[in-house]
Amino acid sequence: MEGNRRMQQGEAFLSFLLYVGGLLLALEWLSPLHDLTDSEPFSLFVIYAILCFGLTYLQLSSLLSFFIKMMGLLFIIDRAFLPRPAFGSEWFQQIQWEGRVNINALFNQNWHQLTDLFQTFLLLILIALMSYLLYFWLITMKRVFVYIVLTIVFITVMDTFTTFQADLAIIRLLMVSLFMLVIGNYLKRVKQQGLTFEVGLWFEKVVVPLFVIVAIAVFVGYYAPKSEPVWPDPVPFLTTTAERLTTNDQNRQVGYSEDDAQLGGSFEQDDTPVFRANTPVEHYWRIESLDTYTGHSWERSTELSYQSFQDDALDLIYNQQDQMLQNATIDYLDGANFDRLVYPQGLSQVNQTEALSLQFDHETGIIEPTNANDSLHSEPIELSFRDPDLTVDQLRRANGPTPADITSLYLQLPDDLPDRVRELAEEIVSEESTRYDQAVAIEQYFNQGDFTYQTQNIPVPEDDQDYVDQFLFETQAGYCDNFSTSMVVMLRSVGIPARWVKGFTSGEQIEDLSTADQEMYQYEVTNGNAHSWVEVYFLEIGWVPFEPTIGFSGNEVVYEDSEEEGDQSDSSLDEEEIEQEDQEEEESLAEEQEQEQQEEQEETAAETEQATSQFNIWPWFIGLVGLSLIIAAIRWKWLLKKAILWRWSHFKEPKDLQKAYHQLLKLLALFRVKRAANQTLHDFAQDVDQLFGITSMSKLTNSYARLLYRDDHSLDDDQALVQYYQNVVETILS
């Protein structure tokens, strides 16, 4: 029986190695997350996977295992996504918000609106379930091949069709898979044919030579020279075919396009450089604007009417003639697939030559070569502009009647625009009295709700859906076109003329060209910098840009109010009066600051007192429970032994021995020592004694059997029975 016991131990050890191999392959399934997503708690995912696999292998009670796994899951969620302190007011508010958003997304089937926290929660649940599945698949069924094949397919697909590089992952996968196949096949043969083996000898004769051969093969394969691929890369072909066949969710390449016949759909990022710009200030680069919104697209309501470009021809922002001219240079690159001029908002002059003359359309602002044979790509283009300098007061005062030619073009809305879009716009501006404040309220609305910026999984509206209505009330996720179009439509809904503008953001600064006399920087603008924004009309000022898209703020032309204090007579105040006023202001400011400091100190003292009186014990309680569970998981055998020995330190009545004996049978079953259906208690006790090398189980069973079949039902020797019982328990849990 000693040989049988060693054989069982050897089989258990190999099963353990097989399960560890399953864990290593499971971690390979998680490895792309680190490269393809912004999953900051990746290391926590790995630790959680190890915890789940370990608990499943130990075969603890289902309740205890579930509790520990849930505690680990909540710890990761709290660590990665929830505010500090745990169980504080902000913590519960975040939980409530997450629940509301995700439940709404699930019911509406808006899968792209599921938050990162909820997606991480689902991933952790999947890891926990995978540990159960692989235990059954690998330990119970000994089926290794299918799992290995699925892992290989997954890793190779991720390597082929994503930016994930699986060079080292494939090597790890090869080595682990070979060992799992060897162990799994051997365990099957042992079970089917009843073979006996010595683990140490088997490792020496099989595993060590296999490891050496695999290590040499991997080393040679990785470092040896290799020829170029014979087959062409299939990814470009498959991508092109998929884009051609896709009809509902059109994936377009990011960049400037003259076609705006269909709004919506996802974008594929493209970082191809389009032009380089030398400019002293950072700003957006405008190309054109559109005026007609159809509910699904943007169009021009007028035909292009070109005129010869002259200085200050566009009048995009009026009353800027007192601003100093600044110079910029545009150099188009090979990646530019358009031949229209990009220019700053305050464009004044363009250096035209005999080889290049320009024309422009006043309504759209499009500037392009007059001669179709000319091109903006031939040489760098020099231009001058006046950096806009507007104040809040100027814009708030611009509230007069709008000219008829402006209202006829830039208040247009489709007849079937849903009423709730107008109602939302009116609600947002209800407390604002000036056109500027109303525009700012709508601009800031997108930063205050549940809106997110993303370029993938953006739906195209159905024929009976409005693009803006879908974004505002259903998806609330999109890119610049969604935000800018929605702002234009809401502005028009409340009677404010606005238009939709296309161009590029400032790009990335790649060089500092500044001198002692002038600041100058070089920016590189790519297709990925293509952008759309909003221009709002103000009386006697003109078109002023606004930026509603989340995360963008590079087109600001409005500044804090300058010191305009009326007419020139105010500047002739007596110097003594000015000094006296300044002194009074300083004293008043000092008093206010002193009062504010005193109030802050009082508030701090009150908060400290409240925090002391309302000490939050929950984090400490959770930490103590978690620590206790960790100790229990590590020392569970010792704790279980102490609990059983304390519970059955003596047998007062015959029924105590009966209960203790039944509990002993359950303990043996926990360690996979189960009594067969047709096996007597005496035979089972002898098997247990032979397995563990003891005689106490048979002696205890004899007393238990006499107790069951004797009429007096009395205990012969309480202390001896307790000694037999404790001996068996200590042997099992040692």
How many CB atoms within 10 Å of residue 657?
A: 22
Integer Cα distance of 351 and 356 in angstroms: 9
pLDDT at 421: 93
* Per-residue pLDDT, 612: 41
Choose between 42 and 631: higher pLDDT.
42
Measure the CA angle with vertex 385, ends 384 and 391; round to 5°. 165
604 or 19, higher pLDDT: 19
The pTM of this model reads 0.48
Q: What is the pLDDT of residue 574?
A: 47
pLDDT (tens digit per residue) in 220-249: 877 777 776 666 566 655 654 554 444 444
- Is-contact 690 1, C-beta < 8 A? yes
Burial class (CB in 10 A: 0-12, 13-18, 19+), 414: middle
Predicted confidence band at 582 (pLDDT cuts at 50, 70, 90)? low
Lowest mean pLDDT among 5-9, 305-309, 367-371: 5-9
Helix boundaries (H) for 616-710: 618-634, 636-647, 654-670, 681-692, 696-709
- What ranges do the domains of the chain cover? 2-223, 267-559, 635-732
Residue 501 parent element (H or E): strand 498-504
Question: Taking residues 179-196, what's their average pLDDT?
Answer: 75
The pLDDT of residue 370 is 85
Q: What's the token pair of residue 516?
A: 């002692």
550-573 pLDDT tens trace: 888 766 666 555 444 444 434 444
CA distance 445 to 435: 15
Confidence of residue 183 (pLDDT cuts 50, 70, 90): confident
